[in-house]
Amino acid sequence: MGRTYKQLSLDDRCEIACLSANGSSVRQIAAALDRSPSTISRELRRNRGSQVGYTPSYAQHQMRARRWTGGRLEREPGLRRAVLQRL
């Protein structure tokens, strides 16, 4: 079978923030959460604020902002109707 993937939850992000603030290494954090070190490294790199550092609420907000919201036809019902009428 293929691999299964699970996104980081807010609880995971809180744990990352706590362990990171306590000086734990990326590998130690990954072992504690049973995740790949690259996942933790990527999470810290992507969601580190410019002033404060890594905060779970900011990371969760950024994750939601990056999430795919559908194609243009799904977002614009008027455009979808026009396309379907002309098909």
Is the backbone of residue 54 left (phi > 0), alpha (psi -120 to 50) or beta?
beta
Structure tokens at 75: 């977002």
Query: Which parts of the chain register pLDDT below 70?
Result: 1-2
What is the distance of C-alpha 48 from the center of its chain? 12
pLDDT tens per residue, range 43-63: 999 988 777 789 999 999 989
The pLDDT value given to residue 72: 87
Q: How far, in Å, CA of 24 to CA of 34, rounded?
A: 15
pLDDT of residue 49: 75
